[in-house]
Structure formats: C-alpha cells, structure tokens
Structure 1
Amino acid sequence: MIDFDTAAALILSEARPLGSETIVLEAAGERVLAVDLKARGDAPRTAVSAMDGYAVRDADLASLPARLPVAEVAFAGRADVPTLPPRSCARVFTGGPVPHGADRVVVQEIVGRDGDDALFETRPGDGRHIRAAGSDFGAGEVLLPAGTVLGFRAMVAAAAADVATLSVVRRPRVVILGTGDELAEPGQALETPGSIPESVSFGVAALARQYGAEVIARRRLTDTPDTLEAAAGQALDEADLIVVTGGASVGEKDFARAMFAPFGLDLIFSKVAIKPGKPVWFGRARDRWIVGLPGNPTSAIVTARLFLAPLIAGLAGRDPAAMLDWREAILTTPLKPCGDRETFERGRHVDGGVALMSVQDSGSQKALATADALIRRRPGAPALAAGETADILDF
C-alpha cells in the first residue's frame, strides 16, 4: 500500500495527451488545441469605422462651422474601399470601410444634416474612431497556442482566425463497468428483491465528461467471472481507459482485478493509504489504462476526483497537475484529529470558508449532492478549530 502523494505522482506520470484529430469548428468547444492556431488574414482587413458617424479630413474641419456634402456611404460588409473626394465627407457605419483620405470618424451625435450635406459645428474630441487594418491581429499571427482549452472566449478568437476546422487533442474514450450482483438499474431496484440502484457509474460518467472524456459505454455486470472477463476484453477493444467500480476489496466475489488478468494486467498500484477509498487501484493492460474504484458511492466519487480526474484531463490535453490544485481555506467548523490514514473529509463552501459536512460515511449518497470541497488531513494531524486553515480541493 502506498501513500497518496506517491499514487498521485504515478497517475500524473501516465497522464500525457493522446494523439490529435481534426474536427469542425462548431464541435470544438471545450476541446484542447493540438497545434498553434494562426490567423489566415488580417483583422480588420482594411481600416474600418469604430462608430456610426462621418469620415472626414482634418483639414476640412480646420474652420468651424463647416458644411460638407456626403459623397459616399459605407456600411459594414462593403467590399470596396472608396476614396474621399476633397471638401466632402462619407457617411460610415460601425465596421464599414473608412474611405481613403479620411483622417477620422466624427460620431453622428454631434453632426447635423441638411439634405445631402453634413453640418459640423462642434470640434470633435481626440478619438479618431478608426480601427486600423491589422490592428487586432495580422495574417500568420498565433491567436491561440497549442494546449489552449477552447472555452467560450477562446472560441471567438478561433472563429476570427477564419478557419473551418481545428486540430485538437483526441478525447480519451472511456468505458465504465459497474460490478455487483446487488445492483439494479435505477427505476427497477424496488421491484427487485435484495437490490439497490446502481448509482456510482452515473456520477463517474458525469465526472469523466467534465474533465474531457468521451464516455462510450456504461455497463452493469454481475459478479460472474466469465461475464466479467468477457466484458473486460470487450472494453479493452473499445476504450483508451476503463473504469471499474466495485469488486476491489478482499471478498469472495471481488473480481475487479482478476477480470483483466488474462489480458496481461500490469498493476501500477493496488491500494492507497487514504480514507475513504483505500481499495482504489490503477494499472494497464494491452496499452489501455484501467482505474478500479471502490463500490461505496462516496469512496468511489472521492477517489474518482483525486485520481481519475487528473488522468482524464492529462489524456485530453489539459494540465493534469492543475486538477490537484490544493489551496488553503478558512474552516467555519472544527475538525477532529486525523487517524493514521490520510483522510479526505467532505466539506462545503459557506460564509467565505469551508464547513465540514455532518455526514462522512463512505456509503452516503445524499451528502454528495451538496459537498463541493475535499478537506485534506494528513495522518496524525491534530484537531483544528473553526477559524484555522486547512488544505482543500474543489470537489
């Protein structure tokens, strides 16, 4: 059995990006760029107006009031760039091309109209209200470096680069195998004597998607060796990463690791000295990763957050170490001394700090809905009073 830091380091060492794939821009949200994204052209391609108003030469406003005929009209999208005749102005709209020869755009609010003439009586301010060609970015400029997560802001820049497709890191394909004779599909448990709803795989699937995976299957299995072995072989054919829930302890029907033995299972670690979640394990078979989670719901989700989240994030091209970004927070409730095993208490952000959840049982499910922090307690750590600080991780 190894400690948490050693187990986390082993996970991080395996969490390297998968290969790349090309996808359409529309599907790229929240994916990770595999290569630098460069602009195809300048933005803007020509000088454009930043305001609705009138493009003029400074010389024509040297003496006020001034009356200038409106010689051109330039809306956004006009393909050609007109030339401004001497002693005239152009009606321009935001995004429209600024005529050659114009020095500034005077905002429409201080310009009058008399038929086809514009009347300038107020001297414009210092702003010229012109976006120069290439002032946002130039052709060939890197707008987004490789490794960028394409969130809603980055997607604007990606589209502005004028590309229809993007090269992104491939999402890890994940199969989730829930084991246990006692498990029934939600909606059927009350009608099945001796069964309980299988809940863990739904939470694991949601976590996997949140951190960048493509969940291709979620299967519920009975504790039958032949069935489990067949499911393991099928999952190894389909997935990059297999997550097994349950069957990781020392009972007579705990076959989670044994089901992968015929496929050359290489265990990276088999137990971790933490509470909850000691039975968590990690290995490889046929160049696929396998994470074994405990069957108790809280134990499974805590260990999934600690080990599965950074692994998936790294495979998907994100920074896996950032998924274990512990920080100090003020406790709003006291903590008892920690035992001889490193413990991750469930907490909740309240009143500018973190409060310990009243229920810490590894089988609890209701409390998971409101817990949003893990409080890290080192082995043998002393009691902490409200107002002291502890290391926490967003949960």
Structure 2
Amino acid sequence: MIDFDEAVRLILDAAHPLEAETVALEAAGERVLAADLKARGDAPRTAVSAMDGYAVRDADLATLPARLPIVEVAFAGRADVPSLPPQSCARVFTGGPVPHGADRIVVQEIVGRDGNDALFETRPGDGRHIRAAGSDFATGDVLLPAGTVLGFRAMVAAAAADVATLSVVRRPRVVILGTGDELAEPGQALETPGSIPESVSFGVAALARQYGAEVIARRRLADTPETLEAAARQALDDGDLIVVTGGASVGEKDFARAMFAPFGLELIFSKVAIKPGKPVWFGRARDKWIVGLPGNPTSAIVTARLFLAPLIAGLAGRDAAAVLGWRDATLTTPLKPCGDRETFERGQRVSGSVAILNTQDSGSQKTLATADVLIRRRPGAPGLAAGDTADILDF
C-alpha cells in the first residue's frame, strides 16, 4: 500500500497525450490542439470600418461646417476597395472596406444628411474608427498554441484562422466494467429480488467525458471468472483505458484484477492509504491502462476524481497536474482530528467558504450529489475549528 502523493506521481507519469488525429472544425470543441494553429490570412484582409459612418479625408474637414457628396457606399463583404476622391465622402458600414484615400470614419450620429450630401458640423474626436489590415493578426501568426483546450473562446479564434480541419489529440477511448452479482440496471432493481441499481458507472462515465474521454462502452458484469475474463479481453481490444468498479477487496468473488491476469497485467499500485477508497488500484495490460475503483459509490467517485480525472486529462492532452489544483478555503464547520490514513472529506461551498457534510459514509449517494469539494486531511492532522483553513479540491 502506498501513500496518496506517490499514487498521484505514478498516475501523472502515465498521463501522456495520445497521438494526434484530424477532425472537422465543428467537431473540435473541447478537444486539445496537437499542433500550433496558424492563420491562413490577414485579419482583417483590408482596412475596414469599426463603426457605421462616413469615410472622409481630414483635409476636407479642415473647415466646418462642410458639405460633401456621398460618392460610394461600402457594406461588409464588399470584395473591392473603392477610392475616395478629394472633396467627397463614402457611406461605410461596420466591417465595410475603408476607401483608398480616407483618413477616418466619422460616426453617423454626428453627421447630417441632405439628399446625397453628408453634412459635417461637429469636429470628430480623436478616434479614427478604422481597423487596419492585419491589425488583429497576420498570415502565419500562431493564434492558438499546441495544448490549447478548444473552449468556446478558442473556437472563435480557430474559425477565424480560416481552417476547415484541426489536428487534435485523440480522446482516450474508455470502457467501464461494473462488477457485482447484486447490481441491476436502473429501472429494474425493484423487480429483481436482492439487487440494487448499478449507479457508479453512470457517474464514472460522466466524469470521464468531462475530463476529455470518449466512453465507448459501459458494461455490467456478473461475478463469474469466465464472464469477466471475456469482458476484459473485449475491453482491451476496444479501449485505451479500462475502468473496473468493485471486486477489488478480499471476498471470494473479487475477481477485478484476476480477470486481467491472462493478458499480462502489470500492477503499478494495488492499494492507497486513503479514506475513502483504499482498494483503488492501477495497472497496465497489453499497453492499455486499467484503473480499479471501489464498489461503494462515494469511494468510487472520490477516487475517480483523484486518480481517473488527471489520467484521462493527460491522455487527452490536457494539463494532468492542473486537474489536482488544491487551494485553501475557510471552514464554516469544525473537523475532527484525522486518523492514520489520509482522508478526503466531502464538503459544500457556502458563501465563499466550505461546510463539511454531515454524512461521510462511503456508500452514501444522496449526500454525494450535494458535495462539490473534497477537503484533504493529512494522516494524524489535528482537528480544525470553524474559521480555520483547509486544502480543498473542486469535486
């Protein structure tokens, strides 16, 4: 059995990005760039107006009031760039090309109209309201570096680069295997004597997707060696990462690790000195990663957040270490002294502080839904009072 920090180190050592693949721009949201994204052209491609107004030469407004004929109209999308003769102006709309020879755009709010003439009576301010060609970015500029997560803001820049496809890190394919004869599919448990709804795999699948995985299968398995071994073989054929829930204790039907033995299982760690979640384990078989989670719902989801989340994030090209971003928070409720195992209490944010949830049972599911932080307690740590600070992690 190893301590938490050593287990995290082993997880981070394994969390290297998978290979790149090319996807359509519209399918790239929340993926991770595998290569720098460079602009195909200048933006804007020519000088454009930043406001609705009138393009003028400064010399033609040297004396006010001034009356200038409108000789051109430029809307956004106009392909050619008009020229502006002296002693004239052009009606230009936001995004429209600025005529050659114009020095500024005068906003329409301070310009009068008399037929086809524009009337200038007020001196324009200092702003010229012109976006110069290439002022946003130039051809070949790196708009997004490799490693960027393509969130909603980054997707705007990706599209602005004028590319139809992107090179992104391949998402890890995850297979989730839920073990236990007592488990039934939700919606069937009440009709099956002695069974309970299988709930853990649904939470694990949601967490895996949140941190960048593609969940390709979620299978519920009976505790028979033949069934489990066949499922292990199929999972290793299909996935990059297999998550097994339950079956990792010391009972007669705990086959979670044994099911991978025929495929050369290499255990990296078998237990971690934490509470909840001591039975969590991590290994490799046929060059595929395997994470074993406890069967109790809270234990499974806590350990998934601590170990599975950074592993998936790293495989997907994200910053695995950043997923474990601990920070200080003020407690609104006291904490008892910690025992001999590192403990992760469940808490809830309350007005910028953190309250400890009353129920810390590893099988609790109702309370689990309200927890949004984990509070880290070191082995043998003294009790904490309300108002003290503690290490917390978003949960």
Query: Shorter-chain TM-score: what band?
Result: over 0.9
Give % identity: 89
Could you say which residue in structure 2 is the equivalent of 1:289? 289
Give the letter for the 1:14 counterpart.
Answer: A
Match of 2:367, SS? helix
Could you say which residue in structure 1 is the equivalent of 2:381? 381
Could you say which residue in structure 2 is the equivalent of 1:4? 4
Residues 210-266 of structure 1, C-alpha deviations (whole Å, 9 max, x = no match): 000000000000000000000000000000000000000000000000000000000
Could you say which residue in structure 2 is the equivalent of 1:315? 315
Pair 1:170-2:178 in alignment:
no
For 2:379 and 2:10, how far apart are their aligned partners in 1? 20
Could you say which residue in structure 2 is the equivalent of 1:67? 67
Q: So what's the TM-score if we normalise by structure 2?
A: 1.00
Pair 1:182-2:182 in alignment:
yes
Give the letter for the 2:277 counterpart.
Answer: G
Match of 2:391, SS? strand
For 2:49 and 2:394, how far apart are their aligned partners in 1? 45
Could you say which residue in structure 2 is the equivalent of 1:51? 51
Could you say which residue in structure 1 is the equivalent of 2:35? 35
Q: How does 1:88-103 map to 2 (within 5 A)?
A: 88-103=88-103
Pair 1:117-2:113 in alignment:
no
For 2:81 and 2:323, how far apart are their aligned partners in 1? 51
Could you say which residue in structure 1 is the equivalent of 2:211? 211
Give the letter for the 1:387 counterpart.
Answer: G
For 2:324 and 2:352, how far apart are their aligned partners in 1? 21
* 1:23 to partner: Cα distance: 0.3
For 1:383 and 1:81, how far apart are their aligned partners in 2? 73
Q: Give the ranges of 4+ consecutive aligned residues of structure 1 lying more than 4 Å apart after TM superposition.
A: none
Pair 1:220-2:220 in alignment:
yes
For 2:173 and 2:14, how far apart are their aligned partners in 1? 16
Could you say which residue in structure 2 is the equivalent of 1:341? 341
For 1:176 and 1:188, how far apart are their aligned partners in 2? 20
Give the letter for the 2:290 counterpart.
Answer: I
For 1:137 and 1:103, how far apart are their aligned partners in 2? 22
For 1:100 and 1:368, how far apart are their aligned partners in 2? 65
Give the letter for the 1:107 counterpart.
Answer: V
Match of 1:190, SS? helix
Match of 1:181, SS? coil
Match of 2:70, SS? strand
For 1:90 and 1:324, how far apart are their aligned partners in 2? 57
* 1:85 to partner: Cα distance: 1.0
Give the letter for the 1:258 counterpart.
Answer: A
For 1:244 and 1:177, how far apart are their aligned partners in 2? 5
Could you say which residue in structure 2 is the equivalent of 1:152? 152
* 1:200 to partner: Cα distance: 0.2
Give the letter for the 2:347 counterpart.
Answer: G
Could you say which residue in structure 1 is the equivalent of 2:143? 143
Match of 2:344, SS? strand
Pair 1:394-2:394 in alignment:
yes
Give the letter for the 1:23 counterpart.
Answer: V
Match of 1:207, SS? helix
Give the letter for the 1:146 counterpart.
Answer: A
Could you say which residue in structure 2 is the equivalent of 1:202? 202
Match of 2:189, SS? coil
For 1:30 and 1:305, how far apart are their aligned partners in 2? 19
Could you say which residue in structure 2 is the equivalent of 1:331? 331
Could you say which residue in structure 1 is the equivalent of 2:126? 126
Q: So what's the TM-score if we normalise by structure 1?
A: 1.00
For 2:85 and 2:4, how far apart are their aligned partners in 1? 75
Structure 1 portions without partners, runs of 5+:
none
Give the letter for the 2:107 counterpart.
Answer: V
Match of 2:191, SS? coil
For 2:288 and 2:144, how far apart are their aligned partners in 1? 31
Residues 340-365 of structure 1, C-alpha deviations (whole Å, 9 max, x = no match): 01000000000221110000000000
For 2:90 and 2:370, how far apart are their aligned partners in 1? 61
For 1:52 and 1:255, how far apart are their aligned partners in 2? 71
Pair 1:275-2:278 in alignment:
no
Could you say which residue in structure 2 is the equivalent of 1:15? 15
For 1:336 and 1:345, how far apart are their aligned partners in 2? 11
Structure 2 portions without partners, runs of 5+:
none
For 2:394 and 2:108, how far apart are their aligned partners in 1? 51
Match of 1:113, SS? strand
For 1:65 and 1:356, how far apart are their aligned partners in 2? 71
